Chains A and B, each alone.
Chain A
Amino acid sequence: MTTDDRPSDRRPVRTPSIVACPDGPILVRGDVTLVDDSGRAIPRRRSTVALCRCGASAIKPYCDGTHKAIGFTAP
């Protein structure tokens, strides 16, 4: 174990995968760096994240469940 293996270093090691949930967010797993428009890394606090697909989340780019309240249906 190296010093980089601290628990707080949440860099995922799993093979990347992207799942579009029916009428919901996009689940992202694995070693993927999320960046904003200007290329800055977006803080990622968990190994599996849900990206908002409905546009209505208050914590974009992440999903906060609002898609259910607005009756979002995925294209």
Chain B
Amino acid sequence: MKLPSPRGPLSRAVTEVLSSPVGGEVGDLAPLTRRALEHSVDLLADDDVQLTLYVMYELFYRGFEGVDDDWEWSPDLLAARRLIELALEQHLSDRVAVPEGVAPARAAVAEALFALTAPTPGPSVARYVAKRATLEQVRELLVQRSVYQLKEADPHTWAIPRLVGRPKAALVEIQADEYGGGDPERMHCELFARTMRGAALDAEYGAYIEQIPAVTLAGVNVMSLFGLHRRWRGATAGHLAAFEMTSSLPNRLYGDGFRRHGFGQDTTEYFDEHVEADAVHEQIAGRDLAGALVQQEPELLHDVLFGAATCLYLDEVVGEHLLSAWGAGVSSLRTA
């Protein structure tokens, strides 16, 4: 993908650094980063900070056209990234409510995760999409989701080498299915690309980055934060469990929304696949991944629950953003 346009002083400085060859003078990004964080009113909605973090993380996935791959492990960039990560971790731990009184045992953790993610009545993006979203809005949903879904499963895959035994096998079992069981045509990111093309959208990785708002970037950034740090392996497991547990039923509704607009099975296949697949994945993720991990490493109990609760919190923040924009009859995307 192309290096995104800056959205403020910090992302300007970082994209300028990345446009230069590795080995040159970087300058100290820390003071600029501190200033950006101090001035931030709402970190999750801060375009400059979230885009900067997104760009820093993307170096670890697919990189950018014309950007030296060696920037990935630049100590200067990593030092600045650390400051943003600390602020983000603080922001989340101040706001995310973690369930208490859960025993550090496999069944208890699975039960707590299913309770935390239990379906709730009331307004949701999925219900809105099923019943009311316009054609423009359902296409917009795909654009919003494309930031993650075109690299679906990748952030959680980072945790595989950090686990052992049953939780590791469980994560591999889920991820193998996410990657189509080894069939490139069945990889979930590829199914999503087909859905995008079915809706006459550009399925090229990063094609819509300029239009993606900070809150959406924040959701993906948190997955990368958890995935790239071994110390957050518990949160990755919890995040994945919550993600899978809140997928089957909403995906049925997303599919309904697209069918309502006359899209055929080739376009809705991504959603149909997730109705079935995630009913499997949630069972494995709850018990054999998250539950068994806590059984194995009881000190990870809090992180597992925090990861799950964070997934739900971000889902809510992004959901509110989408529904309030659509409710007001405006686009949820950025107009650059």
- A interface residues with partner B (beta carbon < 8 Å): 7-8, 10, 19, 21-22, 24-25, 27, 45-50, 58-59, 62-66, 68-69
Contact = CB atoms under 8 A, between A and B. Distances in A.
B258 to A, nearest CB: 16
B209 to A, nearest CB: 31
Contacts of B249: 64-66, 68-69
B280 A64 contact: no
A64 B282 CA distance: 11
Given A46-B181, A48-B177, A49-B280, A65 B107 contact: no
Interface in B96-124: 107, 110-111, 114, 118-119
Contacts of B114: 68
B233 interface: no
A66 B283 CA distance: 13
Contacts of B107: 22
A50 B118 contact: no
A18 to B, nearest CB: 13
B275 A46 contact: no
Nearest to A58: B252
A59 B119 contact: no
Interface string B173-185: 1001100111111
Given A50-B283, A64-B248, A68-B118, A59 B182 contact: no
11 contacts: A7-B183, A21-B283, A25-B283, A45-B276, A46-B280, A48-B280, A50-B280, A62-B276, A63-B279, A65-B247, A69-B119
A48 B177 CA distance: 9
Given A27-B283, A49-B280, 7 more contacts: A48-B173, A58-B252, A64-B248, A64-B252, A65-B279, A68-B114, A69-B249
Contacts of A59: 275-276
Nearest to B110: A22
| Interface size class, chain B | 20 to 34
B284 interface: yes
A65 B248 contact: yes
Interface of B: 107, 110-111, 114, 118-119, 173, 176-177, 180-186, 247-249, 252, 273, 275-280, 282-284, 287
A64 B278 CA distance: 8
Contacts of B282: 65
B67 to A, nearest CB: 33
Contacts of B182: 7
Contacts of A45: 186, 273, 276
A19 B286 CA distance: 14
A25 B283 CA distance: 8
Given A64-B248, A68-B249, A25 B173 contact: no
A45 B118 CA distance: 27
A61 to B, nearest CB: 11
Contact of B275 (A10, A48, A49, A65): A65
A30 to B, nearest CB: 12
Contacts of B111: 22
Contacts of A69: 119, 249
Nearest to B252: A64
A7 B276 CA distance: 20
Contacts of A27: 280, 283-284
Contacts of A7: 180-184
Contacts of A64: 248-249, 252, 275-276, 279
Contacts of B110: 22
Nearest to A12: B181
Given A8-B183, A50-B280, A21 B275 contact: no
